[in-house]
Structure 1
Amino acid sequence: MLLRKLIFEYHAKKNNSNIFNKCLVALTTLPLRQHSSYRLEEAYKKIKAKCESKKLPKDVNPSAVFACNELDLKEVKVYGFDYDYTLACYKPSLDYLLYNLGRETLIEKYKYPKKIANLEYKPGFAVRGLHYDIEKGVLIKLDSFLQIQFGSVYRGLKPLSNENVLKLYKNRIIPIAYVEGDRHSSGSHSKMVQLADLFSVPEMCLICNVTDYFERNHIDYHPEILFRDVKNSVKNSHPVMHKIVAQNVAEYIEAHDLKPFFDRLKNANKKLFLVTNSPYKFVNKGMEHLVGANWKEYFDVLIVQARKPKFFTDDSRPIRVFDEHSGMHIWDRVTKLEKGVIYYEGTVKQLQDLTGWRGHQVLYFGDHPYSDLADVTLEHGWRTGAIINELTHEIATLNNPKFKKDANWLQMLTQLIEDHQDCEDEEEQAVLAKWMQERDKLRNNIKCVFNEQFGSVFRTYHNPTYFSRRLFRFADIYTSSINNLMNYSVNHTFYPRRGVMPHEYTSYFV
């Protein structure tokens, strides 16, 4: 106001040097603006230089075991295992096999167009943990808050734009009843199905390939019927898959010797058991490949075709002896579980009652957070370990120097935006918009290095995925391979790292 008054007086009284000098003094003593585009640009340069000067974080050990909950192995007396993707880890060739068998079944049994025989499997298209919306016919990635990750919603092989996603769902957060069903109504079913195991990856690709074929050729279809047909086709292909894999185990199962691990456990007087949904002949061929002809000697209890998760939830389904010579189960009542005998179906209640193995003395390993781990930890107090094969790829990506630089810069750039976002000047807003564009590009690049379509199994852009939330809830520890436990003694205690809550962040990271 003072400067404006002086300028007015100067114009009113021309050539008045006294007033002119007062104007100069006023100009030089004005306080700097609180915000300016220049100041923002300088702040950007400063934080960018700081980021570039930082040492990159250490590499993550790809053979490590990670703790979600404290686990003292000294307390564990009994080790239990699933078979598929836990003891036996499959090569990519199995994905191709399951996809091709499922596609053939769609044509032969469900009379789908013969031209879908030309639809080839696309490795790396999908990741596990995605949801399929059986009403809307889209494959979708959700975070732990049930928020949609934009850019990761696909109908067939084509991503939906953010605008189309919002038209479809009216919101970026999906109601829990839509995802999980109404928990207050026993007859309510969710509209989404989560595909949470690795066997479902070729299934997802087949769904998307067929959907894309129908969309391109303007063929009417019902998304739920398509989902059921594909799911049943792949499921019905498993017996054929079992025979093919058993005939050529080395082509389909990764070679890793389990014998040293089992020897260590037996030498420490641990009990071992196997509970798997797979049939005996299939398991036998795989275990002979991984352990040797005497593999059954390591296990105190062997249960095949357990029909998990019913094995963990049913109460009355009887356990039977399986005759490996006839390939049939025997109807005699089982009153005790003997070493060297193969058992069929049954329930976890019978397993516990007949062995006395209960609670925290049991550590069970599986690959599926729900059918393997959820019920035994929630209902029976077992300790649990998850074998997550994708960790190998995820950790290799985390250890890439470029990824580390991009992830560090993303964190610092986000903090810079947060600190300066309340500027209101148009020039300042233009600078902020430029920063936001850089952040969006950076986030997308970081997503795509894991998987071009859906990103990391464990993260959306910044939050844990829905899959991660369940994994961390139901697994005490997780790792990429059962053999990674060889890096730890049988008396090792796994300690979870102290998590940083949002209100603690500044006090931890200065």
Structure 2
Amino acid sequence: MAQQGSAVRGTGPSTSRASSCFVRSLISAAFISTASRIFANAFVLNRKFEPVSLAPISRRETAQSWLHQEGTGILSRGSAVFSPKKSLLRDAPPDDSSSATVEQLELSEESIPVQSVTSTLSGLKTSPDLVLQRAGIDPEEEEIIRDTVPHRLVSHRDIFCNRELQMSQIKAVGFDMDFTLAQYTTAFDELAYEGAKKKLVEIMGYPEEVLGFRYDPTLFRRGLLVDKQLGNFIKIDKHKAVRAASHGSKPMPREERLNLYVRSLVKLPSFLRDSRFVPLNTLFQLVDAVLFAQLVDLHDSRPDLVEKGRLKNYEKMFADVHRVVDLCHNDGTIKDTVAEDPEKYIFEDKEVLSMLRGLKEAGKKVFLLTNSHWEYTTVVMNFVMGNKAPHTRTTEWLDLFDLIIVAAGKPAFLSDRRDLFRVDPKDGRLLNTCPDLIADVDGYLAEGKVFQAGNWKTLNNLLNLQAGREQLLYVGDHMYSDIIEGRKSLGWRTCLVIPELAYEVRTQQIQKKTMAQLQELRGELNDVDLYLDALVMEQRKRRKANDNSPSSVALDAEIREVRIKQEEVTKRWKKLNLELHAVYHPTWGELFKAGYQKSQFAKQVQDYSCVYTARVSNLGLVSGSRSFRPPRERMPHESVLDFDDLPRLLEEEGEEQETEN
């Protein structure tokens, strides 16, 4: 497994290192002779670059791919419908806009490309790629068998570690339900989206045009921020620099983005603290994002509706969207429909049951902590048990857990003092209880282990945890309610479920050569920059000395030639970066990257999730005593140590010693 921050330098590392060392030694020599300068110049300028074998990616292919497996039409929420191997588009006419010219590229460290995506949802069928993105499940994978020796090959079935975690010290493991134990299809999104549209028109008085909107799950991804005030969506990196933006569903030009969020003379906004910005922390919120973006587009294109009062300002529209989507979750629009046919709306992961049972067999207390109410929780957990039809539902799933808390009200559950009620599983009735006066926890839970509301202190008492919060591991999908608050406020150990991670990992594996070429080009650009900088320093020195000799004239010409080479390498790097960027998502790129930096989402994953994985059942692939250790982090000045090469270097050293002996 590659170490964090390790540099991958193309397919010819020896040539790359030789060139870098040569140029740097030349610079340090300060151009002792004209011959050395000319030779180095020729070496850098005549460098051969391997052509990039990355097929052009058309906008239509990426947004409108036909999918090749029978099933219900679903799309990835917050992750575009792409195949990293080839287009799945059938019978599509050629698209001349499939590849961008160099003149159209604006990509740099400070700007990642944004393109519009127009998707057609009709006629789509389930594909393994989409299941991989949406649920972290690969229908075509073979049974996973783990050796006792730690493996280096990264897989979407892996559990990745940010902070050392020893499962042997964990006494209790808790789970969120929605988008954790149960992953939802985009048919689930459609229920919320269609219901919210009708409520906007029928209850909130929005124009009839809203009913013509169509749900586009490819527009946005998790980790973005919604600027409610301006109707924008932005992606920021770990330094809180805005790297990409759109206004409504339309990509924002680079200059407009810089003027709004970088060059403004007013105080820069606090993206993570200002209520003006709303993070997309969970897949649930992508319905809100799509509907709000479409309202922004309608607002801008129909000023007459604004003048008539049929459309409000951006901030009020966002509040209305949030209100009607919440209403759909609470009034039965969504959950009553799911209860009738859960198989249409929930992915089936048959490994969840064995994972939960395995944790109990390992001596862990297992609990469920969900914001869903009892009636819906029993529907979903029965589906997880394999009881798909309404008449097959039982309460046997309760045996999977030592404790169940529904309607928890996270994140308030993690801070507020809220009353706890016992739930009668037979009819869902709420019964008063007083957990503060419990003398015998086991006896208390024997009377009934299903509760509603309460708070974290009640949870600790019911789990009978005596030796601190580090004994509890909580697994969830919501970045704030499940992970940040639990880790930062309570010190819980945390595991973040990121379904999109499966697609990201597989795409990285498929595009490994392209990524190496990209890194090689960046290394070449650094070498050219260093060489040009040395030439400019020499030129400055000669001009101060009024040196007009022929060699100085030649130096000026040399600088012009190197600048041309610098521009050529930069364009090649930008073009390749654009193409690789579009493989992940044509507008927002990699989930964990913003430009050449980690995205803010990636930073939060690293800061607050002790471990993270693509699907919850991956926890069943490890024992209850497994120790997770993070890879060695590196600072830029440590790049001289190529840790990925250490095994090879040690092997070579051993061979040399054998030869000497």
Q: Which residue of 2 aligns with 1:414?
A: 522
Q: Which amino acid aligns with 2:456?
A: V
Aligned-residue offset at 1:51: 12
Secondary structure of 1:179's aligned partner? coil
Q: Which residue of 2 aligns with 1:391?
A: 501
Contact 1:156 1:211 in 2 (8 A): yes
1:360-395 residue CA offsets vs partner (Å, 9 max, x unmatched): 211110111210122322233221111111112211
Secondary structure of 1:490's aligned partner? coil
TM-score (norm. length: structure 1): 0.85
Q: Which residue of 2 aligns with 1:277?
A: 371
Does residue 243 (structure 1) correspond to residue 336 (structure 2)? The answer is: yes
Q: Which residue of 2 aligns with 1:302?
A: 404
Q: Which amino acid aligns with 1:171?
A: R
Write the distance in 2 (CA, Å) between the matches of 1:158 and 1:51. Answer: 30
Contact 2:161 2:612 in 1 (8 A): yes
Where structure 2 has 5 or more consecutive residues not aligned to the other structure, the ranges are 1-32, 55-151, 307-311, 387-393, 439-443, 537-558, 646-661
Q: Which amino acid aligns with 1:271?
A: K
Write the distance in 1 (CA, Å) between the matches of 2:425 and 2:372. Answer: 14
Classify 1:503/1:176 alpha carbon distance in 2 versus 1 (closer, same or farther; 3 Å).
Answer: farther
Q: 2:478 aligns with which of 344, 368, 372?
A: 368
After superposition, the CA RMSD in angstroms is 2.5
Aligned-residue offset at 1:172: 9.1
Q: Which amino acid aligns with 1:508?
A: D
Secondary structure of 2:565's aligned partner? helix
Write the distance in 2 (CA, Å) between the matches of 1:283 and 1:505. Answer: 50
Q: Which residue of 1 aligns with 2:261?
A: 169
Does residue 196 (structure 1) correspond to residue 306 (structure 2)? The answer is: no
Contact 2:217 2:286 in 1 (8 A): no
Aligned-residue offset at 1:447: 1.7
Write the distance in 2 (CA, Å) between the matches of 1:102 and 1:469. Answer: 33
Q: Which residue of 2 aligns with 1:353?
A: 461
- After TM superposition, the structure 1 = structure 2 runs for residues 33-432 of structure 1, keeping only pairs within 5 Å, are 33=37, 38-43=42-47, 45=48, 48=50, 60-149=154-243, 152-171=244-263, 177-181=269-273, 189-218=274-303, 219-220=305-306, 221-239=312-330, 240-257=333-350, 258-291=352-385, 293=394, 294-314=396-416, 316-334=417-435, 335-336=437-438, 338=445, 340-357=448-465, 358-400=468-510, 403-422=511-530, 423=532, 425-432=559-566
1:92-119 residue CA offsets vs partner (Å, 9 max, x unmatched): 2112222222222211221111111111
Classify 1:391/1:173 alpha carbon distance in 2 versus 1 (closer, same or farther; 3 Å).
Answer: farther
Write the distance in 2 (CA, Å) between the matches of 1:146 and 1:175. Answer: 14
Secondary structure of 1:154's aligned partner? strand
Where structure 1 has 5 or more consecutive residues not aligned to the other structure, the ranges are 1-28, 53-57, 182-188
Write the distance in 2 (CA, Å) between the matches of 1:82 and 1:296. Answer: 15
Aligned-residue offset at 1:285: 1.0
Contact 2:172 2:472 in 1 (8 A): yes
- Which has the higher mean CA deviation after the structures are superposed, 480-489 or 170-179? 170-179
Write the distance in 2 (CA, Å) between the matches of 1:270 and 1:105. Answer: 45
1:52-108 residue CA offsets vs partner (Å, 9 max, x unmatched): 9xxxxx863111110011111111111111101110111121122222222222112
1:308-328 residue CA offsets vs partner (Å, 9 max, x unmatched): 0000011x2111112344544
Q: Which amino acid aligns with 1:471?
A: V
Aligned-residue offset at 1:177: 4.9
Write the distance in 2 (CA, Å) between the matches of 1:217 and 1:50. Answer: 44
Contact 2:292 2:318 in 1 (8 A): yes
Aligned-residue offset at 1:176: 7.2
Contact 1:146 1:174 in 2 (8 A): no
Contact 1:144 1:465 in 2 (8 A): yes
Q: Which residue of 2 aligns with 1:10?
A: none
Classify 1:307/1:406 alpha carbon distance in 2 versus 1 (closer, same or farther; 3 Å).
Answer: same
Write the distance in 1 (CA, Å) between the matches of 2:52 and 2:504. Answer: 27
- Which has the higher mean CA deviation after the structures are superposed, 291-300 or 78-87? 291-300
Aligned-residue offset at 1:457: 1.6
Point out the structure with max Rg over C-alpha.
1
- Which has the higher mean CA deviation after the structures are superposed, 34-43 or 428-437? 34-43
Classify 1:212/1:31 alpha carbon distance in 2 versus 1 (closer, same or farther; 3 Å).
Answer: same
Does residue 465 (structure 1) correspond to residue 465 (structure 2)? The answer is: no
Secondary structure of 2:594's aligned partner? coil
Write the distance in 2 (CA, Å) between the matches of 1:251 and 1:413. Answer: 47
Classify 1:31/1:460 alpha carbon distance in 2 versus 1 (closer, same or farther; 3 Å).
Answer: same
Q: Which amino acid aligns with 1:101?
A: G
Write the distance in 1 (CA, Å) between the matches of 2:496 and 2:502. Answer: 14
Contact 1:106 1:233 in 2 (8 A): yes
Classify 1:170/1:50 alpha carbon distance in 2 versus 1 (closer, same or farther; 3 Å).
Answer: closer
Aligned-residue offset at 1:356: 2.4
Write the distance in 2 (CA, Å) between the matches of 1:368 and 1:307. Answer: 13
Contact 1:78 1:362 in 2 (8 A): yes
Classify 1:74/1:90 alpha carbon distance in 2 versus 1 (closer, same or farther; 3 Å).
Answer: same
Secondary structure of 1:483's aligned partner? helix
Write the distance in 2 (CA, Å) between the matches of 1:92 and 1:395. Answer: 22
Classify 1:175/1:99 alpha carbon distance in 2 versus 1 (closer, same or farther; 3 Å).
Answer: farther
Secondary structure of 1:449's aligned partner? helix
1:309-360 residue CA offsets vs partner (Å, 9 max, x unmatched): 000011x211111234454422343444515432111100111134322412
Write the distance in 2 (CA, Å) between the matches of 1:454 and 1:93. Answer: 23
Write the distance in 1 (CA, Å) between the matches of 2:620 and 2:208. Answer: 49
Contact 2:242 2:261 in 1 (8 A): no
Write the distance in 2 (CA, Å) between the matches of 1:243 and 1:50. Answer: 51
Write the distance in 2 (CA, Å) between the matches of 1:435 and 1:109. Answer: 57
Contact 1:365 1:385 in 2 (8 A): yes
Contact 1:146 1:176 in 2 (8 A): no
Aligned-residue offset at 1:502: 0.9
Aligned-residue offset at 1:48: 4.1
Secondary structure of 1:230's aligned partner? helix
